[in-house]
Amino acid sequence: MNDLVFRKLGEKESFDPATFFPDTPFTQAPFYAQWQTNLSRAVSRFVILRDKKVVAYFQLIKYPLFNGKSYFYLPYGPITKDFSEDFFVKLKQELNRLAKTENAVFARLDFIPSISSDILSKFFTPAPLYTYHSAHFQPRREWSLNLNKTEEDLLKEMHEKTRYSIRLAKRKGIAVEIITKDFEKYFENFYELMLGTAQRNGFNLHQKNYYQNIFKNLHSDYAYLIIARYGEKILVSKLIIRYGSTAYSVFSGSSNDHRDLRPTYLVQWVAICQAKKLGHHFYNFGGISAGKIYQGWTGLTVFKKNFGGEEIIHSDFYDIVAQPFWYHLYNFRKLVKSWGKI
């Protein structure tokens, strides 16, 4: 284990994880850290080196709890190329030490790439079931489309009803715009549409200020917004985040009006085409339902899958427990609060 070094990066020290691992999710990107900092959450970045070469990277977000306590979450992290036993032992030791230093009850891990539970369970504690139903943690299943094809081939591989809906929206006069500046101007409409979508589909959202903070800090280098209008009325608003090899459909909302005109299909198709035009290799539709997890997403899951693509299955969540008493108390409170949802 002597050849493994766990090092915290300085605030001004530059490190782009996409150069280390091209499929790094945007939740480990520098701009995502800035979003969290703007919400008054402390963010720390770390590299793990073996023989002076980076073998793992993660940024860690510190969330406040009660009585001055907190917990750490590594959203889709650590990103690792090392799967050896001494790596997992070192990671556990160092994060446990950091958690105790900063009065964190636990650290929640979310490995990229996916690692078998048979391996992770030897070193870490399986996270409780409520974790898989919370908007605060990343989805375990996602749907992804390979863009290394012609637009004609992408259309051919869709469900026939999806192709029909795209054509119908065009024919009925749905107008689509790609927005790359003045994002804040569109926020209130975006949030209203997303709130309605969440209520219709029965899933949870963050507080409004979470999304407002993101819109305030968006930049065309890594984001674009797709909106669909029918006449003067905006029916759909979809935010795409670009990072590494992938364009991510992160947040979207649609009106209950004029759903027969299929505006969501045309917006999704334009978002896909724009991602391809910008040189991305993959388009990530975001989370999908899986068994009893995210049951409210069933309709959205069918919608996404009908565009073609394949499922991404992430590792289960695992915890490093630094304060067992407070960990069990916190989990009991969360379980009671989520009763009936799981």
Q: Is the pLDDT of residue 104 over 70?
A: yes
The Cα 215–Cα 239 span in angstroms is 9
Q: Does one domain contain both 121 and 90?
A: yes
Q: Does one domain contain both 180 and 246?
A: yes
According to the model, what pLDDT value does residue 63 have? 95
- Residue, of 83 and 289, whose pLDDT is higher: 83
10 Å CB burial of residue 119 (0-12, 13-18, 19+) is middle
Q: Does one domain contain both 111 and 176?
A: no
Q: Does one domain contain both 85 and 165?
A: no
For 151-180, write each residue's pLDDT tens digit.
999 999 999 999 999 999 999 999 999 999
- Mean pLDDT over the full length of the chain: 93
Any idea what the CATH number is for the domain that residue 262 is in? 3.40.630.30
The Cα 47–Cα 80 span in angstroms is 10
Q: Does one domain contain both 268 and 172?
A: yes
**How many CA atoms within 13 Å lie on the side-chain side of 327?**
20
The Cα 283–Cα 245 span in angstroms is 9
Q: Does one domain contain both 221 and 96?
A: no
The Cα 103–Cα 158 span in angstroms is 50
**How many CA atoms within 13 Å lie on the side-chain side of 118?**
1
208-216 and 187-201 are packed helices; what angle lies between their axes, rounded to 10 degrees? 140
According to the model, what pLDDT value does residue 25 have? 96
**Is 159 within the bounds of a domain?**
yes
- Partner residues linked to 59 by β-bridges: 45
**Is 89 within the bounds of a domain?**
yes
**Is 342 within the bounds of a domain?**
no
Q: Is the peptide bond before 22 cis (omega within 30 degrees of 0)?
A: no
According to the model, what pLDDT value does residue 280 have? 96
Q: Is the peptide bond before 78 cis (omega within 30 degrees of 0)?
A: yes
Q: Does one domain contain both 160 and 309?
A: yes
Q: Is the pLDDT of residue 71 over 80?
A: yes
Question: Where in the sequence is the domain holding 60, given as residue range(s)?
Answer: 4-138+315-337
The Cα 150–Cα 281 span in angstroms is 12
Q: Does one domain contain both 304 and 321?
A: no
Asked whether the beta carbons of 207 and 294 are under 8 A apart, the reply is no
Q: Does one domain contain both 108 and 206?
A: no
Q: Is the pLDDT of residue 101 over 70?
A: yes
According to the model, what pLDDT value does residue 276 have? 98
For 233-288, write each residue's pLDDT tens digit.
999 999 999 999 999 999 999 999 999 999 999 999 999 999 999 999 999 999 99
In this prediction, residue 144 has a pLDDT band, given cuts at 50, 70 and 90, of: very high
In this prediction, residue 341 has a pLDDT band, given cuts at 50, 70 and 90, of: low
Asked whether the beta carbons of 136 and 332 are under 8 A apart, the reply is no
Q: Does one domain contain both 251 and 324?
A: no
156: number of Cβ within 10 Å:
12
The alpha carbon torsion through 205, 207, 211, 217 (nearest 10 deg) reads -150
Tally of structural domains, the chain:
2
In this prediction, residue 189 has a pLDDT band, given cuts at 50, 70 and 90, of: very high
In this prediction, residue 208 has a pLDDT band, given cuts at 50, 70 and 90, of: very high
According to the model, what pLDDT value does residue 130 have? 78
The alpha carbon torsion through 334, 110, 75, 86 (nearest 10 deg) reads 120
10 Å CB burial of residue 227 (0-12, 13-18, 19+) is buried
Scan for tokens 């795409």, then name that residue: 240
Residue range 14-43: mean pLDDT, rounded: 93
For 294-333, write each residue's pLDDT tens digit.
666 788 899 999 999 999 999 999 999 999 999 999 998 8
The Cα 107–Cα 103 span in angstroms is 11
Q: Containing H/E element for 169?
A: helix 160-171
According to the model, what pLDDT value does residue 340 have? 53
Asked whether the beta carbons of 3 and 49 are under 8 A apart, the reply is no
10 Å CB burial of residue 255 (0-12, 13-18, 19+) is buried
Proportion of the chain in helix, strand, coil states, percent, rounded to 5: 40, 30, 35
Look at residues 338, 284, 305, 332 and name the one whose alpha carbon lies nearest to residue 139.
284
The beta-carbon contacts of 10-15 under 8 Å, at least 24 apart in sequence, are 13/45, 15/45, 15/47, 15/57
For 1-23, write each residue's pLDDT tens digit.
458 999 999 988 989 999 999 89
Q: Does one domain contain both 250 and 218?
A: yes
Q: Does one domain contain both 42 and 151?
A: no
**Is 331 within the bounds of a domain?**
yes
According to the model, what pLDDT value does residue 322 have? 98
**Is 78 within the bounds of a domain?**
yes
According to the model, what pLDDT value does residue 129 have? 81
% of the chain exceeding 90 in pLDDT: 82
